[in-house]
Amino acid sequence: MILRLAWRNIGRNKRRTALTLAAVVFAVVLVVHMIALTTGVHERMIEDNVRMHAGHLQLTGAGYLEDRTLERFVRWTPELAAAVDATPGVAAAAPRVNGFALLSNGSASQGVALLGVDPVREGGVSTWPERVVRGAFLGTGEREILLGERLAEALRVDLGDQVLAYTVAYTLENAYELFTVRGLIHAPEPRLERSLALITLRDAQALFAYEGRVSEVALLARDSSRLDETSRSLAAAVSAQSREPLDVNPWPVVMPELAQLLVIDNAQNYSMLGILVVVVAFGILNTILMSVLERQRELGVMLALGLAPREIFRLVYAESLLLCGLGLALGLGLALALPAAVFMEGHPIPIRGDVREMSEMFGFTPVISWQLTAWNPALATLLMTAIALLAALYPAAKAASARPVDALRSL
Amino acid sequence: MRRLAALGLATAFAAAAAAQDARLEPPPAQPSARALAEQVEATFRGEASFLDATMSVTSPRLPAPRRVRFQSWDDRGGKRSFIRILEPAKDRGTAFLKLHPNLWSWVPRVERTIRVPPSMMLQSWMGSDFTNDDLVRESSVLDDYDHRWLGVEPSHQGARAFVIEYRPREGAPVVWGRIVAWIDPVKLAPLRQEYYDEAGVKLRVMTLGGFRAVGDRQYPHHWSMLPLDKPGHETSIEVNAIRFDEKFDAEIFTHRNLTRRE
């Protein structure tokens, strides 16, 4: 009965109802899309960073992140490799030796981070193999090295030339090896490109006298939203295989700067959303209040006829809820239909021009992507319900508290 | 680790405070810190010196200490020095030549010369707890630091010791925040040096002992370097022979000598 009354009431002033509905629909579409866009851009950033080098998860010797020395290592035995590969949720694993060396050619020399990678496994986790701009990625050859383009320039070497690597091995002995330049790589950062060289895991273990050991194992997860779970099963799987204590760290621990950046960005986006929601809430408050004030006489008559104030309260509330519910339904429908109509999902928008160059420099795919998760419509629904409940509170209370005599006399 | 460093810092402050009131008696005739530093430098390095020494590196990584025997020709005045490794056999012939401001290293096994860039100066020398910078110190204890008298410690390792502080001057090519040195008042030789970083954290301690007469001076024949940030690591140097005021052949400090085969 109240519902029917409410339905008729919102149907009475069609123009006002349409405008309010439009505000709600617009707000819903905006909420859903803003979050989808943020999520899309963030997920892309995470994925780019993860694939650049770090991986979703890293398996290291205990305490390696705080003290990146050769003393903290993982014994990369065939048994451990098998255990890692068999862990549910692990898509790929790449063992690495992270060392430091002086590369030298004639009077040119440069201190570099010397990275030993497994030529077969590395491509499963990171995009290093794709970042070779000249020459080829590491293979089965012995004593071959990949240099950052700028590093090769600084050392004045080209493909096929030799460079001398000079370092202190795990045994604290001086270690030297001549390497042949097999390829040049493009690194996301100029600074990194000047100070990074890749060799095979086998050569790195020989150079650093690091038999069977690796510094880290970078892992790519099948499902990046279930890292905790994968992390736990991995820790359980490897603990049985290793004599030394090991750490499993997810990317936010390995790359805290990125995690913090995303938190800040999220805070900004959500405060913008908050402001938007408040604006919409006032719009709805205005509509309902107007309709109540307009119907003072009518509500007075209803009270005089014996309708309880509680029921008047419910009536106004029902109107608000109906309005928001209708707006929500239309808004969600539009929000979900829109991306399908304009091919947003799975079709990122490419960026061009200067911004493209900049984002490539930092190693990001120059696209704006859009990603809808179940969380978006849920959040929109939650917000709209909250708005409907809050915005109707004052008008409903006002309508219910009116005295019939005053209400009738006021007109 | 950080907590440990903070603890070290707190202890250092406490020690400094204690030194202010109780432990240090007022100096009878306080020598100038600068004059002390000059005398110590003269005792310790001299103008031109030849050194034959054996270095032992202790590390949790190694089942037994790694021993490296080397000879060094140090020409302070000419800002040049030369070092050749004699043992272990694997590294025999490896040599270092410093011609200010460059440092070169010769690697006989691959027959290559490497120029060690300034950025590598704080890297370990031959796997020890000494750095390349310690080896061919660019900075001058006298010109790059201000010297300050801290007091007298009545009983440092059982004897009286002057305590002075070295603070780097503005813009000096120095890697330490400050150095505190304990000096034997009679031998005018360093007994202990503590190295602090710019944040005031004590990073390493060098102790010197085994004094023996060399000419008219008392020279420490045993040095030990303890890096405080690397538990279980220690490097000691036993001096086999030391000669001061040598007349060096200019041929020593050449690339030809660097790449010489024995």
pLDDT band at B80 (very low <50, low <70, confident <90, very high): confident
Q: What is the rounded CA–CA span in Å between residue B87 and residue B93?
A: 9
Q: Locate the chain A residue with the closest alpha carbon to B109.
A: A176
DSSP string, B43-93: HHT-SEEEEEEEEEEE-TT-SS-EEEEEEEEEETTTTEEEEEEEESGGGTT
Q: Is A245 exposed, middle or buried (0-12, 13-18, 19+ CB in 10 A)?
A: exposed
Q: What's the pLDDT band for B9 if we cut at 50, 70, 90? A: very low
Provide, as residue numbers in chain A, all residues whose Cβ is less than 8 Å from the Cβ of B66. 171-173
Which residues in chain B touch residue A114, judged by CB atoms under 8 angstroms apart?
A: none
**Would you say how long chain B is, in residues?**
262
Q: Is the pLDDT of residue B20 over 50?
A: no
pLDDT, one tens digit for every residue, chain A (411 residues):
777 878 887 777 788 888 888 888 888 888 888 888 888 888 888 888 888 888 898 888 888 888 888 888 888 888 888 888 888 888 888 999 998 898 988 888 888 999 999 999 988 888 888 888 888 898 888 899 999 989 998 889 999 899 999 888 888 888 888 999 999 998 777 788 888 999 999 999 999 989 889 999 899 888 888 888 888 888 888 888 778 888 888 888 888 888 998 999 889 888 888 888 888 888 888 878 888 888 877 878 888 888 888 888 888 888 888 888 888 888 888 877 776 656 555 566 666 666 666 666 555 666 667 777 777 778 888 888 888 888 888 888 887 777 766 666 655
How many Å apart are CA B251 and CA B262, to the nearest integer? 16
Chain B residues lying within 8 Å of A172, measured CB to CB: 57, 59, 61-62, 66, 124, 126-128
Q: In a 3-state reduction of DSSP, which class is residue B235? A: strand
pLDDT digits (tens, 9 = 90+) for B193-209: 899 988 889 989 999 88
Under an 8 A CB cutoff, do A172 and B107 touch?
no
- Is this structure's pTM higher than 0.90? no
Cis peptide bond prior to B101, omega within 30° of 0: yes
Looking at the DSSP assignment, which residues form a beta bridge with residue A213? A75
Higher pLDDT, A219 or B246: A219
Q: Compare CB distances from A107 to B115, B119, B127 and report the shortest one's residue.
A: B115
User: What's the whole-number mean pLDDT along residues B51-78?
Assistant: 88
Among A164, A170, A171, whose Cβ lies nearest the Cβ of B110?
Answer: A164
Residue range B29-52: mean pLDDT, rounded: 78
Interface predicted TM-score (ipTM) over 0.85 = no
Chain B residues 87-116 with a CB less than 8 Å from chain A: 88, 90-91, 94, 105, 107, 109-110, 112, 114-116
Q: Do B117 and A168 touch (CB under 8 A)?
A: no
The answer to whether residues B35 and B180 touch, using CB atoms and an 8 Å cutoff, is no
Task: Measure the CA–CA gap between A386 and A395, rounded to whole angstroms.
Answer: 15
At A9 the pLDDT is 79
Task: Tell me the CA distances in angstroms from A228 to A133, A231, A235, A250, one per residue in order.
Answer: 36, 5, 11, 8
Helix, strand, coil distribution of chain B in percent, nearest 5 = 20, 45, 35
What distances in angstroms separate CA B136 from CA A9, A27, A372, B102, B248, one per listed residue?
Answer: 92, 70, 62, 10, 17
Q: Chain B partners of A171 at a C-beta cutoff of 8 Å?
A: 61-62, 66, 127
Q: Do A169 and B127 touch (CB under 8 A)?
A: yes
Paired residues of A132 in beta bridges: A185
The torsion angles phi and psi of A71, rounded to 5 degrees, stand at -65, -25
Q: Scanning every residue of chain A, which has its alpha carbon at the shortest distance from the alpha carbon of B119? A: A111
